[in-house]
A and B are shown apart, each in its own frame.
Chain A
Amino acid sequence: MKYTTFNQQSTNPLAEPMFFGNPVNVARYDQQKHPIFEKLIEKQISFFWRPEEVDVSKDRVDFQKLSDPEKHIFISNLKYQTLLDSVQGRSPNIAFLPIVSLPELETWIETWSFFETIHSRSYTHILRNLFADPSEVFEDIVLNEEIKRRASDISRYYDDLIFATQLWQTQGEGVHQVDGQSITINMRELKKKLYLCMNSVNALEAVRFYVSFACTFAFAERELMEGNSKIIRLIARDENLHLSSTQHILNLWAKGKDDPEMAEIAEECREEARDIFLNAVEQEKQWASYLFQHGSMIGLNKDILCQYVEYIANHRMAAIGFDTPYEVKSNPLPWMNNYLNSDNVQVAPQESEISSYLVGQIDSEVSVDDFGDFDL
């Protein structure tokens, strides 16, 4: 079905599935099939921040004091996060917007992806402060084997869905010849690709960031690189919200509260989806080995970091109805919670009380007493 930017047929967005129904026409939010996405948009917008708000100038001095293994840990993590947000800043838009059918979900996807671009810009902000010319760091992202391996796993499911959608929207269902390969396109296959892609995104938001978060906050525990840690705290808060959205989508499907065919697919592809998650966990653990290959840092080593990934993974897997395959029962890095608690995320002093302080900023209540000292 050809994509149209304004579908002129009357549709009932309350009866559409989240994806692969009619293209969205009117961007209206007065009624929602799944109100959660409207609430997530509101919350995300209330979290708005700019990298420039955070003063990272002290980090430059701290960075010079780090040992070489610590510098390797710090810079490698920034590279990995730059990769993740490069993907996330564009892919939800390109993969999901052409097939989305609900206005509130469409806008959530755009809002979500926009915030990932703020994250990307903040890495430039951090690196520009540390190096006169950060080019070498950025250029290594497409050369470094460790990072490239992760990049191909992360982008594979997106690319697969995007390619299949393009074929479907230009050629329709059927068997198509592309570059000497015959490719079968039908709705069931498209939905399967969407399901696997959403699981891969969910795993990305759920565990892929957490090894680098832990390292950043371990530096902050030693009062080092605190500007960077402030930025990462803001990023972690956003990522938690993004994760909540992918968990909602997966659960709405699995519980048959959206497209009934997606419920069947969730059942059918359960093992494959579980493997996507376990794979992401293994890759994070390998990443921990790579980070600590030249030596560890105070307060953190490879083993404890791997345990933390497993601990987080157990919780994240339970949230989408999977078993909890790892042994770890209690949190191996309890201090992480202080950094992930949204009320400890302080940017401006007026935000110290409540993180989403812009909500209700304007008081429209006027009482008679307000005119007490008024003379005409």
Chain B
Amino acid sequence: MKMDKLYIIHLDEDTQLACHQDKTLLENLEAHKVEVHFHCREGFCGACRTKLLDGQVEYITDPLAYIDDDEILPCCCKAKSDLKIKLS
């Protein structure tokens, strides 16, 4: 069986969360009971727009909602490294 790789999400100085690579970033945050605004969960509404301060993500669906260069849509991406994010 393939081992599920764990990354770390840094929310702020004191909060670090384990992040499963096989789940979306939004699912990971919800598993840790972090409140994230969301609607469509499919990358087109942009409700979950979040600032990515450090790290890399990969998209499982092409994001259609407008995001800035330093922003990501947690509902449709997975972590590719440890991440530092800032929730809006």
Q: A residues bordering B, Cβ < 8 Å?
A: 36, 39-40, 43, 237, 240-241, 243-244, 247-248, 251, 315, 318-319, 330-331, 337, 340-343, 355
**Other A-B pairs, 8, CB within 8 Å; known A243-B45, A315-B47, A341-B38:** A39-B62, A244-B44, A244-B46, A247-B46, A251-B68, A318-B49, A318-B88, A341-B40
| B42 adjacent to A241 (CB under 8 Å) | no
Size range of the chain B interface in the assembly: 10 to 19
Distance from B62 Cβ to chain A, minimum over Cβ atoms (Å): 7
CA of A43 to CA of B45, assembled, Å: 12
Distance from A368 Cβ to chain B, minimum over Cβ atoms (Å): 30
| B41 adjacent to A343 (CB under 8 Å) | yes
| A240 adjacent to B45 (CB under 8 Å) | yes
Q: Which residue of chain B has its CB nearest to the CB of A247?
A: B66
The 3 tightest CB contacts between A and B, nearest first, are: A240-B45, A340-B39, A342-B40
Interface membership of B52, Cβ < 8 A? no
Q: Which residues of A contact B35 (CB under 8 A)?
A: 330-331
Q: B residues bordering A, Cβ < 8 Å?
A: 35, 37-42, 44-47, 49, 62, 64-66, 68, 88
CA of A248 to CA of B45, assembled, Å: 11
| A331 adjacent to B37 (CB under 8 Å) | yes
| A240 adjacent to B66 (CB under 8 Å) | no
CA of A342 to CA of B37, assembled, Å: 14
Write 17 A-B pairs (CB below 8 A) sorted by A numbering: A36-B64, A43-B64, A240-B45, A241-B64, A244-B44, A244-B46, A244-B66, A247-B65, A315-B37, A315-B49, A318-B88, A330-B35, A331-B35, A340-B45, A342-B39, A342-B40, A343-B41
